Amino acid sequence: LKPLPLTGTCTSISRSCRWRLKSTFKQISAISYHKFIDFALDETRRHTDLVPSPIQEKFKSMNSKDGKTELQTLSFQAPKIRLFRSLSIETEDIQVLDFAVFPEPEFDVPIFCANFFTSNRTNIVVLDLNPLHDVIHQNEYKEKYFKSLLPLGLMYSELLPWGGKLTGESIKFFSPIVIWTRFSSSQHKYDVLYSAFRDYYKEWLELIGRAAEETDARQIFKNREAQHRYLTWRAEKDPGQALLKKLIGDTLAKDLVRNFLFNGIDELGTRKFLDYFPEYGYEDGTINEKRSIIGKSFESRPWNAKGEFIGDIC
């Protein structure tokens, strides 16, 4: 890009120059999350054999209603891994990555979760190893999976500080090392986020690699039900749904959410949303459409450096 003439008003900038300026800013502001997924795929393949998931064929390609946006999906399974799936959406104005990896119910390993939403105005980030079991009131599961990861979580929570109040209910699905942050676009922040993503994913692969298969039927049932509850929560209340509906329409968005993003709802259990979250029920048996009953909570990080919960509810 040639330097702009120093004299003259804005109106004197030629059309081609204005176009070049605009596209330069776009190049700076647009981020692609593809390299995150490429990393996860390569790294997973170094540990295990991924095979395409049976759901891939149905959801392999989707376009937005206006035909301008392609929604890209990937889904695999592997020994110990029930579902590895990602959805990415990249337009000039928004970039989204919704990536999760769910273990088979024989393993109580956390669910890997990376949710990144980027627009011209902001970036919204959740990166976590979502616990399958209680880490707020009980220590056992927390010690098993998170104790050794606290230093890593602490380092990244300083680089990517707490994003402020969020849907109160979400906190029970997060771990003491959750990265919940918002920032305005900058190359430095993306580099830190990419580094956090790689480190968290490598740790997750270590956890699943080391995990021994559970043989106690009651424990397997508990793992399955915990995963089902998680899927049921997200399929009903995930914040991305409004945008997905806008992009691809109500029917396709619901199908994508239920059968791709949170696949397993129909197989892992039979309980319904209100069985798990009765506080959302109206007397006539319908579900309150509000995302939160508790409301937005947790202005600051409710976990201390020792991984103790210091928030006020639950």
Q: Which of 95, 118, 170, 232 binds ligand BLA (CB under 6 A)?
A: 170
Give the phi and the psi of residue 271 in degrees, each rounded to 5.
-70, 150
**How far is the C-alpha of 293 from the C-alpha of 177, rounded, in Å?**
25
**Which of 48/91 has CB closer to ligand BLA?**
91
Cα–Cα distances (Å) from 150 to 144, 304, 306, in that order, read 12, 10, 7
**How far is the C-alpha of 23 from the C-alpha of 18, rounded, in Å?**
9
CB of 130 to ligand BLA, least distance (A): 6
Report the residue closest to ligand BLA, judged by CB: 240
Burial of 251 (0-12, 13-18, 19+ CB in 10 A): exposed
Number of residues engaging ligand BLA in binding (CB under 6 A): 20
Residues 117-146 binding ligand BLA (CB under 6 A) are: 117, 124, 126, 130
Burial of 44 (0-12, 13-18, 19+ CB in 10 A): buried
Is 243 one of the binding residues for ligand BLA (CB under 6 A)? yes
Angle at 269 between CA 263 and CA 274, to 5 degrees: 95
**How far is the C-alpha of 51 from the C-alpha of 78, rounded, in Å?**
6
173 to 202: interface string for ligand BLA, x by CB under 6 A: x-----------------------------
Q: Are 109 and 207 in contact (CB under 8 A)?
A: yes
Q: Are 91 and 63 in contact (CB under 8 A)?
A: no
220 to 239: interface string for ligand BLA, x by CB under 6 A: --------------x----x
Q: Which of 53, 73, 95, 167 binds ligand BLA (CB under 6 A)?
A: 167
Is 96 one of the binding residues for ligand BLA (CB under 6 A)? yes
Is 311 one of the binding residues for ligand BLA (CB under 6 A)? no
**Which of 13/287 has CB closer to ligand BLA?**
287
Helix (H, G, I), strand (E, B) or coil at 65: coil
Q: Are strands 166-167 and 111-118 parallel, antiparallel or unpaired?
A: unpaired
Q: Using the rule CB under 6 A, give the single segment among 20-28, 76-84, 165-173, 215-223 that binds ligand BLA.
A: 165-173
Angle at 288 between CA 283 and CA 291, to 5 degrees: 155
Q: Using the rule CB under 6 A, give the single segment among 61-69, 113-121, 194-202, 276-284 that binds ligand BLA.
A: 113-121
CB of 125 to ligand BLA, least distance (A): 9
**Which of 48/69 has CB closer to ligand BLA?**
69
Residues forming contacts to ligand BLA in the complex (CB under 6 A) are 87, 89, 96, 98, 113, 115, 117, 124, 126, 130, 166-167, 170, 173, 234, 239-240, 243-244, 291
